[in-house]
Structure 1
Amino acid sequence: MRISCVGAGPAGLYFAIVMKRRNPNHEIVVHERNPAGTTHGWGVVFWDDLLATLRTNDPDSAQAIADQAVPWSGQVVDVEGQPPLHYVDGGYGICRRRLLQILIERALALGVDVRFESEISALSQVADADLVVAADGVASRLRRHRADQFRPQIEAGRNKYIWLATTQPFPSFTFGFVPTRAGWIWFHAYSFKEGVSTFIVECAPETWDGLGLGAMRADAALKALESIFAKHLDGHGLMSRDGHGNTLPWLSFRTLVNRTWHADNVVLIGDAAHTTHFTIGSGTRLAIDDAVALASALSEHDSLPRALDAFGRRRQRALARVQRDARLSAEWFENLPRYIRYNAPTFFTLLLARRSRLLKRMPARTYLYLRRKYTKLTGSASSPLARIGGPAHRFGSKARRGLSGAESGTPCP
C-alpha cells in the first residue's frame, strides 16, 4: 500500500512505525511542513498505560522513550495562603522534541521516508497515495478540503493559557493558584527532563485583561508572571519558544470534534480528528491509540472503506467518555471561583472531582454531602477521577487518605 502521512507529530510518526512493522512492503512517506527539530510546547506527560501500548506495538521505540522519560511523583495543590496538599500518584514527563526525535529515528530505521519542509496544502499533491493520513493538527488543511464530509465543529474555550518552561524542577505534578488584583491565576507544572519543567499558565479572560498580559511585550509579560509566581519559581525564570520582542502567544483551547473521521481515502488521526483539554493530559496517549487502531483496522480488513469505517466507529466510541471528561475538566477551571473559596482540603477534593457531571449541576457543598451519604449507604462509591488522564479510585482508597478533612466543605475566611 502507498501511504502518505501529512504531519510528523506522534500520531503520524507512530502510525508509520506500526504499519512498517506489520508489513515492510508498505511505501510510506511522512510529510512535515516545518524544518527538522521544530516543535510546539515543551514536555508531555503520560502513564504506565501508554508505555504498555508502546511496548506491545514497538518495543524498540518504547524502550527509548522509557529511557528518556523523567518520572514525577505525586500531585501537589498549592493555594496561596493555605498549606500545600499532596496526593500520592505518579507518572512520567518527556521532552516533546526528544519524543519526536525518537519516533523519527525509529521510522527512518524501518524504511519510512520522512520529508521535512514538505508542505502538503492540497490533496492533489498526494494523489498517487492509496491512503492519505491527515495528522496535521487541529488546524488541518487536508480536513478543510473535505469539510463538507468530515463536518468538523470547533469550540473555543473561555480561559486564556500559555505553554512556558522553567529551569525550576517540579518533581511532583503541581497546581499553583495565586490571587491577583484582577483575579486568580494558576499554573500546571511538571518536570520533563533534567533541569527543565513545563509551566502552563492559565487564567480567566478578565484576569488576563486586568493584568494587561495580552498587551505586554513578551519580555515584560514573562517578568510579570515571574513576579506573580515568585514563591514557586524560587529565583528561576520562565521561557517561551515564541514571542521574542512581541506579545506572548496566549491561546484559547479549541475543542474539536468531527462527524466522521474519513472521506474517500483520507482519514483523520490525532488532533486533526479530535482534541481533549490539556487539563486531563491525554493528548499524546490518544494520538498513539489512534495510530495503533488505524493500523489494526487496516490489517483486519481487505477493503479500505471497511477498514476506515471500522476505525472511525471504534475510536469515536472509545473517545466519547474521554472527550466528555475533558469538557467537564475545562469547564471546572473556567468556573474556578465556585470552588477556590473552600478550604484547601475541600478544594483539592473538588479539583479531583472536576470530571463529575453531578458537580457541574449542583452547589459544591451539596455534591460533597451527597457523596458522603452515598458512600455511607453503599460502603463504596466511584471516586472522582483521581489523576490527570487516569482511572478512578474508590472512596476510602489512597485518594481519600491523601485528603484528610476534605469533606467539611468549609469556605475559606
Structure 2
Amino acid sequence: MWDARVKIACVGGGPAGLYLSILLKRQDPGHEITVHERNPAGSTYGWGVTYWASLLDKLEVGDPESARAVRENSVRWSDGVAHVGDRTTTHHGDEGFGIGRGRLLDILTERARSLGVRVEFEDEVADGAALPDADLVVACDGVRSGVRERHAAHFGTETALGRNRYIWLGTTKVFEAFTFAFVETPHGWIWCYAYGFGDDRSTCVVECAPETWTGLGLDRADEAEGLARLEELFVKLLDGHRLIGRATAGGSAQWLNFRTLTNRTWSHGNVVLLGDAAHTTHYSIGAGTTLALEDAIALADALGRRPASETGSGSGQAGLAPALAAYEKVRKAELLSVQSAARHSAQWYENLPRYIDLPPAQMFALLGQRHSPLLPYVPPQLYYRLDRAAGRLESLRRLKRWLGPKLARTLHGSATKG
C-alpha cells in the first residue's frame, strides 16, 4: 500500500475515471483526487451500455455500494432474437444487462463524491494548457484523448478505421431481448442491434457497408431525413416507435467508421492511459465499458500493491513506474483474446453476404461464433456442422481451438507471399 497520501487527477469523467477514483479513495481516504470532466453535469453521449454478470462480480469486490446501485438500475435479458428479412429465430443464452450511460455516470459520480472525490464539470484540460498539478495524471478522456496526443509519439498511438459505417441511436421501443434485424435493400443489406436499458428506452446501433450507405442516400441526408429513412427500413422492428438522434446537447447523430486504437506503451512519466484512451474494441462485442472498468480495477490494484519502500512523504511520484508497468502488463495480456474476438467480429459483419443466405438458425449460430479465427477460412455450413459436433465432443472443440490460429497464420502467410 502507499504510505504517502498523493494527489491524483483523472482527466475525463467517464465510467473508468470515476470508478478508479472510487477505488483509490477506498484504498486511502486521504488521497486528494479530482475528476476533470469537460462536459456539463448530466450531459453524455450514447445511450445504453451492455455488460455481463462477471462484471457485477468484480464491481461487488471493488465497491459493494456502487455495484448494488448499478445492479438495481439495470435491465436484464437472457434471449437473443434475429430477424433476417421475414425470417426470425431465437437463441436462449447467457444473461446480459443493460444500463443507461447517463444513469451509470450519475451513480458513479454520486458514489465518488460521497467518498470525498472532487468531480468538476465544465473543466476542460484544453490543448496546450498545463496538465493538472498532481502526482499521477490519469488520461481517461476517450479515443481522441487530448492528454495522450501531447505525447503521441512516445505512446506509439496507432488507429485503424473499419470499413463499414455505423450510427448510434436511441428508440422508445423497449426490447426485452438482445435483438438483431437484417433488412435487404436494392443497395445491399443494412442491419441493427438493439437492446433495452431502461423502462422506456433502448439503444439501436445501425450498420451497413459503405456502398449501401451511399446507395440509400444516407451520406447526403441530414439527421431528420436520415432517421426517417431508417424508420422506414426498420418499420417492422420498431413497431411504430421512433428513432432518436444524439443524446446530448449540441451536435447531431453522426455516421462513423469505427476507430480501433492501440498504444505501444500506456504511461509516460506520471501520466497513464485508461479505457478508450489506451485501447478500443469493436462495439459489436459489447465490451467497451466493461474493459474500461476492468482497466480501473487493474490500475487501482497495481497502485495499491506498491511497496511502502517506494514511497515517502512528499514524494508521491516516487516508484510510480513499476506500478504503471505492472498495470500495463496485466491489462495487455488480458486484452489479447478480447481484441482478437473484436477484430473477427467486425470482419464477420464486413463479410455479411457470406452468411446472410444461410437458414436462420445456422446464420444466428454463426453470428454467435463471429469471434472465431477459424470461421473466415471454413465454408459456413461446414463450420456450423463442426461447431455442433464440437458441442458434443470436447476433443473436436480442442481441435477447433488449436487449428484456428494455426490455419489463420498459414493462410495469412500464403496470402502475403502471393
1:138 maps to amino acid: V
The reply to whether residue 141 of structure 1 matches residue 146 of structure 2 is yes
Residue matched to 1:337: 353
What TM-score does the superposition give when structure 1 sets the normalisation length?
Answer: 0.89
CA distance in 1, matches of 2:40, 2:396: 53
Structure 1 residue 323: deviation in Å? 0.6
Q: Give the 3-state SS of the residue equivalent to 1:202 in structure 2.
A: strand
- 307, 327, 333: which one pairs with 1:311? 327
Cα distance per residue 1:62-109 (max 9 Å; x no partner) = 111111111123111111122333333321111100100010111111
Q: Is the 8 A contact 2:47 2:247 kept in 1?
A: no
CA distance in 1, matches of 2:128, 2:17: 17
Structure 1 residue 246: deviation in Å? 8.4
Cα distance per residue 1:177-215 (max 9 Å; x no partner) = 110111111110011000111111111111100000121
CA distance in 2, matches of 1:215, 1:341: 30
C-alpha change, 1:373 and 1:242, in structure 2 (3 Å) is: closer
* Match runs of 1:162-181 below 5 Å: 162-181=167-186
Q: Is the 8 A contact 2:345 2:370 kept in 1?
A: yes
Answer with 111-120 or 356-365: which moved more: 356-365
CA distance in 2, matches of 1:104, 1:247: 26
Q: Give the 3-state SS of the residue equivalent to 1:83 in structure 2.
A: strand
C-alpha change, 1:85 and 1:377, in structure 2 (3 Å) is: closer
CA distance in 2, matches of 1:180, 1:345: 22
Residue matched to 1:256: 261
Q: Is the 8 A contact 1:30 1:114 kept in 2?
A: yes
2:205 maps to amino acid: I
C-alpha change, 1:181 and 1:246, in structure 2 (3 Å) is: farther
Answer with 114-123 or 186-195: which moved more: 114-123
CA distance in 2, matches of 1:66, 1:384: 36
C-alpha change, 1:139 and 1:383, in structure 2 (3 Å) is: farther
Q: Give the 3-state SS of the residue equivalent to 2:225 in structure 1.
A: helix
Residue matched to 2:213: 208
CA distance in 2, matches of 1:324, 1:68: 31
Residue matched to 1:20: 25
CA distance in 2, matches of 1:147, 1:328: 27
Structure 1 residue 247: deviation in Å? 7.0
Q: Give the 3-state SS of the residue equivalent to 2:130 in structure 1.
A: helix
Residue matched to 2:413: none
Residue matched to 2:405: none
Q: Give the 3-state SS of the residue equivalent to 2:371 in structure 1.
A: coil
- 223, 227, 230: which one pairs with 2:232? 227
The reply to whether residue 192 of structure 1 matches residue 197 of structure 2 is yes
Structure 1 residue 384: deviation in Å? 9.8
CA distance in 2, matches of 1:235, 1:105: 37
CA distance in 1, matches of 2:208, 2:380: 21
C-alpha change, 1:362 and 1:270, in structure 2 (3 Å) is: same
Q: Is the 8 A contact 2:44 2:247 kept in 1?
A: no
Structure 1 residue 379: deviation in Å? 6.0
% same residue: 51
The reply to whether residue 81 of structure 1 matches residue 101 of structure 2 is no
* Match runs of 1:278-293 below 5 Å: 278-293=283-298
Cα distance per residue 1:25-83 (max 9 Å; x no partner) = 11111101111111111001111111111111111111111111111231111111223
In angstroms, what is the RMSD of aligned CA positions? 2.1
Q: Is the 8 A contact 2:35 2:117 kept in 1?
A: yes
C-alpha change, 1:111 and 1:374, in structure 2 (3 Å) is: closer
Residue matched to 1:320: 336
CA distance in 2, matches of 1:246, 1:133: 27
The reply to whether residue 36 of structure 1 matches residue 41 of structure 2 is yes
1:348 maps to amino acid: F
1:228 maps to amino acid: L
1:18 maps to amino acid: L
CA distance in 1, matches of 2:250, 2:32: 44
Q: Give the 3-state SS of the residue equivalent to 1:28 in structure 2.
A: strand
Q: Is the 8 A contact 2:46 2:247 kept in 1?
A: no
Q: Is the 8 A contact 2:9 2:132 kept in 1?
A: no
Q: Is the 8 A contact 2:53 2:96 kept in 1?
A: yes
Cα distance per residue 1:147-177 (max 9 Å; x no partner) = 1111011001111111111111100000111
Q: Give the 3-state SS of the residue equivalent to 1:126 in structure 2.
A: coil
Residue matched to 2:299: 294
Answer with 13-22 or 86-95: which moved more: 86-95
* Match runs of 1:112-123 below 5 Å: 112-122=117-127
Answer with 120-129 or 102-111: which moved more: 120-129
Structure 1 residue 327: deviation in Å? 0.5
Number of residues paired by the alignment?
A: 385
Q: Is the 8 A contact 1:135 1:270 kept in 2?
A: yes
1:362 maps to amino acid: V
Structure 1 residue 297: deviation in Å? 0.4
Answer with 23-32 or 361-370: which moved more: 361-370
Q: Is the 8 A contact 2:20 2:296 kept in 1?
A: yes
C-alpha change, 1:270 and 1:113, in structure 2 (3 Å) is: same
C-alpha change, 1:384 and 1:111, in structure 2 (3 Å) is: farther
Q: Which runs of 5+ in 1 are unaligned?
A: 386-413
Q: Give the 3-state SS of the residue equivalent to 1:357 in structure 2.
A: coil
CA distance in 1, matches of 2:250, 2:298: 43
